[in-house]
Every structure is written in structure tokens, then in C-alpha cells.
Chain A
Amino acid sequence: MAQTQTFDRDDAKLVLTHVIFAFVALMIGGIAGMLQGMVRGGMFEMPGGISYYQLLTAHGVLMALIFTTFFIVGFMFSGVSKVTGGKLTSTARGLGWAGFWLMAVGTAIGTVMILANEATVLYTFYAPMKASPWFYVALALVVVGSWLSGAGMIAQYRSWRENNKGKISPLFAYMAVATMVLWYVATLGVAATVLFQFIPWSFGWVDKINVLLSRTLFWYFGHPLVYFWLMPVYICWYVVVPKVIGGKMFSDALARLAFIMFIVFSVPVGFHHQLMEPGITPFWKFLQVILTFAVVVPSLITAFALFATFETTGRAKGYKGLFGWFRALPWKDVRFLGPFLGMVAFVPGGIGGMINASHQMNALVHNTIWVTGHFHLTVATAVAITFFGIAYWLIPAITGRRLTEAVNRLGVWQVSLWAFGILVMSGAMHISGLMGAPRRTSDTTYNGNEIAAQWDPYNLLVAIGGVILFISLIVLAVALVKMFQMPKGETEYPVAEPLQPVEATPRWLERWGVWIGVTAVLIVIAYAFPIADQLFLDPAPGAKGYVLW
């Protein structure tokens, strides 16, 4: 680990291309986000016949699907290359590029369709709202592209294992493979509904669509999607952050166990997004609610590991007292501050998630802007701000430059602004959501309704928070440009070593076949009957398509 090793140039190109693509999507999505806040706050009207819902579709797709996926693929390729010998095999890199191009073409087609107002169906594209077939084709390209990228990472991991028989794999590579395994299992649902339902129906090859089935398949994918965003963040929290603070990773084995549990418990749970829907009996909903809460276990493992790392590191540096170790943390280092703010946001984010998933309690918050507040704490903060923190060392590390104090300071400002903007925006969304304000709704007073008027001050706060977030993005853009002007030199790619020797890690954690088997069994238990019911035991008459925008 200590030897100075510059990042492989070809790998750097692959990683950098993904990261830049991700940030371009983020900037465009951010402009849309800020405008949404202003429209909802009644401060602004969209010019040129662009509708609020067109903006919202662009925001959802670019942020939730494009920014996240591109960054995740780039970041994980970089780490896999780093820990498996510093160079991707040509197969792995080739698959990475093939994946990139498919995803990029998909993104381009999708964006054109949204701009042309041919796909104003929001990023969840609920049937029977019918977009241009090319929008669904675009989504399919993005998914297939990500499958190729995953295959590239797995190919790299397998070649490492072949050359290092009997050894336990490097943790980063293991976690990246776990993330992609989850992704394969999860995307089967969205691939099935897009390929077998939406594409034939939107091209007009069939007249009707089974709406409930399409929703079930979408949410089979939609929940593990959030773990696909979260697991790379956990890679940073488990593997990178301990090194940045000058400590060691708490437990290699428990980290792997947590990742296995995320694979097992994050798929058979999609009904917690459909609690308010007809056509699924309360028994099946409740069964999936129970499975949903099983992810509490790996989350507790993670929380323990993180704080144990902070404390042991602080104490090793000589800080005393119950909380003295807190002062040992490098608060002025963006590589730490970004992920740390993400961890902080994840506390209310996780609690909010438990509320949302609480079966009948979901009625209080379902489809209110509370939910939007919730996922701006989780994906738009815990995830996004950790990605920001990563970018500040990843880009210099792979381009052979030295992170300067000026850019670091810019980064500290940028992530702090983001956290503050989210506090304002998400806080207001949570409150007005509890008061009943709906999400996904353009500016309206409901004909001067008194109750709706009580939401106004919070709409204003959402708009203000959105502007603060956008300023943070401008600072990020400046920092990104400056990163390419920093002096040549070296920036560490931080990978922590475990407190205990990795030899203590049990081998069964690497038996992928077993874990995929367990996951499959749970999926069959949770979904086989409800899907059979929706598909052929008692399907509703199909619905024809509508274009209502």
C-alpha cells in the first residue's frame, strides 16, 4: 500500500469520463431543481411553453438515474482497479467503455425525448401514461449499459481471484461486486416491465397494459435502486473515510456481512411503495414491510463500525474523555467533511424511511412532499454529498495532480452550503408534507383554499433552499475547473487497512452462489403469489395509453 503508484492512465480516462458525465447531468438537473422550487413557491413561471412536469421529469431522470449511475460506475471502476493491482484487464476496461457508450446514447435519446415534450411521464413512468417508445428504449439502453459495466468489474475481480488463489479478495473489490450483484437482481424487474410491457405497448404492437403488474415490477426495482445508490457510499464510509482520518477499518468481516445482508434484504420489499394501492392484499404488504425492516440489521452494523472507527482513531491519537475523540476528526478536510455530513443527514433520513415504511402509518405521508423531503436527505444528501467528498480526491488522484489547500477550502464551503440548503429545503418539505401538501404538483392555491394557504411559507423556504443548493453547485463547478489547473503531483487514493488481519474473515462470505440463492428464495416467497395473481390468476382488464400533458 505504501509504494507510490500513479493511477493507470487508460483506467483514469474511463473513470474520469464517467465522473464528468455524472457532473454534467448533476448541473443540468440542478438548474431544473432550482426552477422547480421557484415555480412551486409561486416566484417564477416557466417560459417558452416548458411545463413544470417536463422540468420535473428531467430532474428525476438526470439526478436519480443518470448522475448516480455514472458516478457509481466510475468510482467503483477506479477502486476496483486500485485494489486489484492498479490496472484493469483489457476485457474489464473494454466492457467499461461499451457500458459507457450504451448508457451515454441512452441518456442522449432520453433527454431529447424529454426536451421534445414526448416523455413527460416523470422518472417513474407510471402506466397508462404513455411516452414516446424511444423514451423506454433509452431507459433500456442505460440499464443494459450498466450491466456491461458490472460485467467489467466482475471480470476484473475474477481475474484477481484466479491469480491469488486461496486469498480473501480486497474489500473494495468485494463491495463493488456486491453492489453490482444487487443491481443485476434489481434491474430484472425494470427490464421485464420495459421490454415486455412498455415497449410493445408504446410502439402499438399491443393495445393494453397491465397497470398493477407494471407498478409491481417497477417497485421490485425501485427499492433496491436506493441501495444501489447507497452501497457505493458505504464503500466510501467503510473503506475510504477511516484512511482519511488516519485510522483503520473496524472490521473487514462485518463490513462484508453487512453488504451481503443488503443484497438479501433489499429486493423482496417493493410493496412498501405500494401500501396505499388496491390489488395487493394486506397480508402480502405486511410480509414485505417485515422484510423491509430487516435492513435495520446491516444499518446498525454500519453505524457501529463508523463510530467505532472514529473513536478508536481519536483515542489512538491520544484524545481522552467520553467524547474527546470527536475533536480528533479532520473537520477542515473536505474528503472527510463531505461524507461526514452525509452520515449526519442519513440519521433523519433513515428515521423518515422507517416512518414511510410503517404499513398503515404511510397514509399520513404517502405522495405528500414529505416524501420528497425524505429522499433529498438520503439520495440528494447522504449519497450526493459523499460523492462530492469523493470527487475532491478522486479527480486529482487519477489525473496525477496534488489537491491544493485552496480547492480543499472551496470544497469545504461547497459541501457546507449543500448541507445548509438541504436543511432549509428538506426541512420545509417535511413540515408542509405532514400538513398534507402533495408532491409532484405545480403551483396552485386550490382556488384560494385556506388549508393550502398554510403551506405557502414552506413553499417559499423550499425555493430559498433550492437557490442555496444551486449556489453550492456553482461552487462545485468552479472547484472542478480548478482541479484541472492544480499542480502536477500526487494525491493519495485512500484505502484503509482493517484493525484485525483479513485472515480472520470467514470464507463463506465470498460464496456468491449461496447468497444469490438465498436472495432468490426470499424473492420467490415475497413475490411469487402476488405476481401470479396480477399476471394470470386475477388480472384487471388492461388499460389503453394516455398522453395527458
Chain B
Amino acid sequence: MHIHRLEKIWMVFGVVMLAVFLAVLGVYAFSMGLQTPHSHAYGKVDPEKLAETPPFDQPGVYQVGENEYEAVIIMYAFGFTPNEITVPAGAKVNFVITSSDVVHGFEIVGTTVNLMAIPGEVNVVSYTFDKPGEYLILCNEYCGIGHQAMYTKLVVT
């Protein structure tokens, strides 16, 4: 098969760029902790029995380390438990999320906190809020007729 010389150069350049690009993504993800949200060690939960399943039997914000907090949140159509969340500035917050009914999306506008709540699964992501203030939390996956009314706020003190 004949391949034009310029095309060979073009292809080699493209593939090398691609390799560099993927290496950057991979290094950030696997050695610097910039990872996608995932379940960690929480295992599976029964969406109909959240009231008796830790940690979702007691949703809320808990201090778990010197400067580290865990926010345990249940999403449901069309709201959040707990309804309002307060965390201190500069602390690492681990959001631990599930849904008690259909699929929802947990987004804190203006941050990289953006993860899916799927019934039966637990999803986790960490974030450090540097600036105090009020943040908008909204549901970004269609969950029914009241989807656009599913939001709350996060206060960073």
C-alpha cells in the first residue's frame, strides 16, 4: 500500500502527540490523585433500605480527619438529604453520594464536583473549597418532571 511521504509525517506527528497527551492524563490520574469519581470501599447499597444502611442511615457532614470532612448525601426526586451543607474553607471534603430512586447528577457549579448518583451504587469525589461563600448545587441528570427544581446550596465558612 502506497503512503505519501507527507502523510507518514502527519501520522507520526499525530500519534506521538496522542501518546504524550494520554501519558499526561494517566500520570495525573494514577500518580497525582486527579482521578475520576469512583466507589472506593463503600460497596453496594440497597436503594430501598438506605435508612438502615451505613453511612446513609445518617446523612450529614462529619469531620473524619484533622482537616478532612465527609459529606454523606442521598439524592431523591426532587431533593437532597441533608438539605443544606456547610463545610469550612480550606478543608478537604469527601462527597459520598447515592440515590434512593432514579439516576441523578450531583454538580456543584463552578467546581469540578460533578458525579452521578446511581441507585445501588455509592459514588465518591473529593474537593477542597478555598473560597468561602455560597455555592449552587444542582441535579444535572434528568430525573422527572421536577428535575429543574432539584437544587440546594453549599455554604463554605
Q: Enumerate chain A interface residues (CB-CB to B < 8 A).
A: 51, 53, 56, 120, 122, 126-129, 211-212, 215, 251, 253-254, 257, 274-282, 285-286, 289-290, 293, 296-297, 300-301, 304, 308, 358-364, 366-368, 435-436, 438-444, 446-447, 449, 451-452, 500, 504-506, 538-544, 546, 548-549
Contact = CB atoms under 8 A, between A and B. Distances in A.
Contacts of B48: 541, 544
Given A296-B14, A359-B29, A546-B77, A540 B114 contact: no
Contacts, number: 209
Contacts of A128: 101-103, 119
Nearest to A251: B2
Interface string B122-157: 111100000000001011111111111101000000
Contacts of B125: 363
Contact of A442 (B47, B116, B119, B147): B147
A442 B138 CA distance: 13
Interface string B90-112: 00000000000111010101101
Contact of B14 (A129, A211, A274, A297): A297
B44 A541 contact: yes
Interface stretch (B18-26, B55-63, B79-87): B18-26
19 contacts: A126-B141, A129-B103, A211-B103, A211-B121, A212-B120, A278-B124, A286-B30, A296-B15, A297-B14, A300-B10, A360-B25, A360-B34, A360-B35, A363-B36, A444-B149, A538-B43, A546-B102, A546-B144, A548-B143
Contacts of B115: 276-278, 363
Interface residues of B, number: 65
B93 to A, nearest CB: 15
A102 B44 CA distance: 40
Contacts of B146: 548
B123 A129 contact: no
Interface of B: 1-4, 6-7, 10-11, 14-15, 18, 21-22, 25-26, 28-30, 34-39, 43-48, 77, 101-103, 105, 107, 109-110, 112-116, 118-125, 136, 138-149, 151
B102 A363 contact: no
B114 A53 contact: no
B118 A212 contact: yes
Contacts of B6: 304
Residue among B113, B136, B142, B147 with the most chain A CB within 10 A? Answer: B142
Nearest to B97: A278
A542 B140 contact: no
Residue among B3, B36, B102, B146 with the most chain A CB within 10 A? Answer: B36
B36 A254 contact: no
- Pick the 10 closest A-B CB pairs, nearest first: A548-B144, A540-B120, A278-B123, A436-B109, A438-B140, A444-B148, A278-B121, A367-B140, A540-B44, A541-B46
Nearest to A540: B120
A275 B144 contact: no
Contact of B39 (A278, A289, A300, A452): A278
B144 to A, nearest CB: 3
Contact of B118 (A53, A277, A435, A549): A277
Contact of B77 (A211, A304, A440, A548): A548
Contact of B148 (A285, A308, A441, A546): A441
A541 B99 CA distance: 13
Given A286-B29, A444-B148, A293 B18 contact: yes
A440 B147 contact: yes
Given A128-B102, A438-B105, 14 more contacts: A51-B145, A120-B145, A129-B102, A276-B36, A286-B25, A364-B114, A366-B105, A367-B105, A435-B110, A441-B147, A504-B2, A541-B47, A544-B48, A546-B101
A449 B136 contact: yes
A367 B142 CA distance: 10
A122 B102 CA distance: 14
Contacts of B47: 541, 543
Given A289-B25, A293-B22, A443-B148, A300 B11 contact: yes
A446 B103 CA distance: 20
Contacts of A439: 140
B114 A366 contact: yes
A240 to B, nearest CB: 22
B145 A440 contact: no
Given A128-B101, A276-B115, A297-B15, A446 B151 contact: yes
Contacts of A452: 109, 136
Residue among A282, A500, A505 with the most chain B CB within 10 A? Answer: A282
Contact of B119 (A211, A361, A446, A548): A211
A277 B118 CA distance: 8
